[in-house]
Amino acid sequence: MTSMSFRWSTTAKPIVALAPMAGVTDASYRQLIKRIAPEVIVYTEFLSTDAIHFGAKKTMQMIDFDPALERPFIVQVFGKDPAHFLTAAKIIEQMGADGIDINMGCPAAKVVSSCHGSSLIRDPDLAAALVHATVKSVSIPVSVKTRLGWDTADTLIPFCQRLVEAGASALAIHGRRYCDKFTGTADWEPIYELKRNVSVPVIGNGDIASANDAVARIENLDGVMVGRGTFGNPWVMGKIVDALRIANCEGQMANDSQLANRKSQFSPLTFVEKLPVILEHCALAVRIKGEQRGMLEMRRHLASYVKGFDGASDMRQRLMQVEKLEDAKMILCG
């Protein structure tokens, strides 16, 4: 069943969200993040509305989630056919998701060449039509993740105002234009200005790698979204939640003992202290996807975890060949 109580407008602020990332934010990673910081809002990898419309098996499996561990659970989708958005949205709602997010920001060449992702920034009429088609077909909230613009940030406010008029109930903005891809430094100033011009929650995204980054950049926004900054450092999400709560000094503040417990449990300083969570991540991947696929997909995470100590390079090379959970344990615990 869907958690009908979830609404972007009433969810506790400041919001901390795990950015949807292809090949990264699968069920095992989402569950790991939620164990570290239960307050975090998690998203699926971005999924094709065409594939959902036609019932593609692999895509349908990627919508599966554990309602006891992952709520609020947002399914991110991409596409360009309003009719497919309508049917896909209904399926997603029936599967129990708490919300739907439409990707209008992915800069990957393959995505943009198909008129998906960031390409929608250049077609606000179609972008608004996709939001409208999705909103009218479901009762769960519909949000949008996009960028500052195609080659200028001047279009951000009118573009997003169109999306809100079409029914978008929240916006997550990556602080780069399409033409920037992931180069340079994220620019949050246009995001702050957007917040002053729309009535829905606005979440900032881009270049957050620490709790200090989150506190420094949130300003007038409703929350922050963290993606690449969690690679090899999922513990950062707990630190960000705590830091923003302390800085905000309002809402559901954790008490001192709760903060101390989380700091001791989820702020590891050494590789040995990190090992239990790394092994837990491996075990989750194997349990959810099976040993062969689970360990294959864990390799990119293991490469990120194993950095910054003597022997890390050799250990990383060995982990890139690992096929079994027990082999990973032997290498990690050596």
| Cβ atoms of residues 173 and 181 within 8 Å | no
Alpha helix (H) ranges present in 105-188? Answer: 109-113, 124-137, 156-165
- Which residue range(s) make up the domain with 74? 15-262
| Nearest of 36, 38, 40, 29 to residue 226 by alpha carbon | 40
Per the domain annotation, does 10 fall within a domain?
no
Whole-number Å distance between alpha carbons of 217 and 69 = 29
Q: 30 CB contacts (<8 Å, ≥6 apart)?
A: 18, 42, 44, 65, 70, 73
Per the domain annotation, does 224 fall within a domain?
yes
Residue pLDDT tens, the chain, 334 long? 445 589 999 999 999 999 999 989 999 999 999 999 999 999 999 999 999 999 999 999 999 999 999 999 999 999 999 999 999 999 999 999 999 999 998 888 888 878 788 899 999 999 999 999 999 999 999 999 999 999 999 999 999 999 999 999 999 999 999 999 999 999 999 999 999 999 999 999 999 999 999 999 999 999 999 999 999 999 999 999 999 988 876 444 445 555 555 554 456 668 888 999 999 999 999 999 999 999 999 999 999 999 888 889 999 999 999 999 999 999 999 7
Question: Per DSSP, what are the bridge partners of residue 76?
Answer: 101
Shared-domain flag, residues 227 and 314: no
Shared-domain flag, residues 225 and 326: no
| Counted domains in the chain | 2
Shared-domain flag, residues 113 and 188: yes
Residue 106: active-site member: yes
DSSP 281-316: HHHHHHHHH-HHHHHHHHHHHHHHHS-SSTTHHHHH
Shared-domain flag, residues 280 and 308: yes
Shared-domain flag, residues 145 and 239: yes
Shared-domain flag, residues 198 and 297: no
Whole-number Å distance between alpha carbons of 54 and 34 = 31
Shared-domain flag, residues 159 and 206: yes
Whole-number Å distance between alpha carbons of 3 and 6 = 6
Last residue of a domain, one of 245, 262, 279: 262
Per the domain annotation, does 107 fall within a domain?
yes
pTM of the predicted model as reported, rounded to 2 decimal places: 0.91
